[in-house]
């Protein structure tokens, strides 16, 4: 699938900030399932710093904005070809050992309910079957409902509430997989549409689980599927904060407001 992506993140500050330093994980991953033809990142008033590929294989770019400024906009525009790899991450080069992704964070720390859920899957044929069944359980137990959780909601809290968004499904699935000794990580990216073809046009998140014989395999519990050619992968981490596309520090004492606009469109063949 040929996709065109535009992504704009605007920060507004109650008082002009003196300086802003950002680390951007906004460049598509390099693997067999996607090929980038054009990709442009721009930060209003920004100075591009050095870039590097980290141990997880993600491209990280540094930017600095010198103030005083009361508004900063991060813009991304690009074109990319994607292929359906049945969720398998083939050809992705990374150096971090998979067992690193057994480590819990505050967002994925399990409680008794998550332990019970993870332990309820029995009679599975292999690790792939176990991962699919865990993902299906999370889909059943957490209904997709925007606006009922926040960025700080944990996997345990989302499961207890029974509602959430893709971040909550992903954290819960990661927690359950790790409880079964399957390395699991959080993936940030974009999704063109939902499985029924309706426009999604937004940033998205899903989990990758390390499966014996296949390597990393993606699972989108929010949409009850594995990533296909509608997905664009940007980067990964232990949880949402670790895999955040934009991380930064603003030097100032005022309030901050955030507006995000994402558009993912299929291009003519």
Q: pLDDT tens digit string along 203-248?
A: 899 999 999 999 999 999 999 999 999 999 999 999 999 999 999 9
What is the per-residue pLDDT across 124-179, written as a single tens digit (0 to 9) for each? Answer: 999 999 999 999 999 999 999 999 999 999 999 999 999 999 999 999 999 999 99
Classify residue 21 by burial, with Cβ atoms within 10 Å: 0-12, 13-18, 19+.
middle
* Token pair listed for 99: 């067992």
Query: Taking phi first (over 0 means left), then psi (-120 to 50 degrees means alpha), and beta for anything else, what does residue 203 get?
Result: beta
Quickly list DSSP for 83-127: ---TTB--S----S-GGGGG---TTT---HHHHHHHHT--S-SSH
Asked if the model's pLDDT at residue 199 lies above 50, the reply is no
Confidence of residue 194 (pLDDT cuts 50, 70, 90): low
Looking at residue 147, its pLDDT comes to 92
pLDDT tens-place string over residues 68-123: 999 999 999 999 999 999 999 999 999 999 999 999 999 999 999 999 999 999 99
Domains located in the chain, CATH noted: 2-80+246-266 (2.60.40.2250), 83-237 (3.10.620.30)
Mean per-residue pLDDT for 6-22?
96
CA–CA distances in Å: residue 195 to residues 11, 163, 169, 200:
32, 20, 16, 10
| Residue 112: both structure tokens together | 């008794």
Q: Which of 3-17, 189-203, 219-233 has the lowest mean pLDDT?
A: 189-203
User: 123 Cβ partners below 8 Å, 6+ apart?
Assistant: none
Q: How far apart are CA 164 and CA 210, in angstroms?
A: 24
What does the alpha-carbon distance between residue 100 and residue 178 come to, in Å, rounded to a whole number?
Answer: 11
When pLDDT is cut at 50, 70 and 90, the band that residue 198 belongs to is low
- Tokens 């390395």 -> residue: 183
Beta bridge partners of 103: none
Q: Which of 105, 164, 112 is nearest to 138 (CA)?
A: 164
pLDDT recorded at residue 176: 98
Q: What percent of the chain has pLDDT over 70?
A: 96
Q: What does the mean pLDDT of the chain come to?
A: 95
Would you say residue 195 has pLDDT above 80? no
CA separation for the pair 265, 269 (Å, rounded): 12
User: Which pLDDT does position 196 carry in this prediction?
Assistant: 52
Banded model confidence at residue 269, pLDDT cuts 50, 70, 90: low
Structure token digits, residue 179: 């409880």
């Amino acid at each position: 699938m040929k996709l065109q992506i535009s992504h704009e993140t605007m920060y507004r500050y109650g008082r002009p900030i003196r300086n802003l330093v950002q680390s951007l994980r906004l460049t598509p991953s390099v693997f067999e399932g996607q090929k980038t033809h054009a990709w442009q990142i721009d930060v209003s008033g920004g100075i591009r710093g050095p870039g590097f590929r980290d141990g997880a294989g993600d491209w990280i770019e540094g930017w600095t904005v010198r103030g005083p400024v009361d508004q900063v906009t991060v813009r991304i525009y690009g074109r990319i070809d994607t292929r359906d790899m049945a969720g398998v991450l083939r050809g992705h080069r990374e150096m971090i050992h998979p067992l690193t992704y057994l480590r819990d964070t505050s967002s994925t720390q399990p409680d008794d309910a998550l332990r019970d859920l993870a332990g309820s899957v029995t009679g599975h044929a292999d690790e792939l079957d176990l991962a699919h069944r865990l993902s299906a359980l999370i889909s059943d137990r957490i209904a997709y409902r925007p606006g009922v959780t926040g960025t700080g909601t944990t996997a345990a809290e989302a499961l207890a509430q029974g509602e959430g968004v893709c971040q909550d499904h992903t954290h819960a699935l990661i927690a359950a997989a790790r409880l079964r000794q399957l390395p699991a990580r959080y993936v940030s990216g974009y999704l063109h549409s939902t499985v029924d073809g309706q426009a999604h046009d937004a940033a998205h998140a899903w989990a990758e689980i390390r499966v014996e014989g296949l390597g990393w395999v993606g699972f989108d519990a929010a949409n009850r599927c594995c990533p296909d050619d509608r997905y664009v992968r940007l980067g990964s981490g232990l949880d949402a904060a670790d895999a955040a596309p934009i991380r930064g520090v603003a030097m100032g004492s005022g309030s901050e407001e955030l507006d995000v606009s994402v558009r993912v469109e299929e291009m003519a063949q």
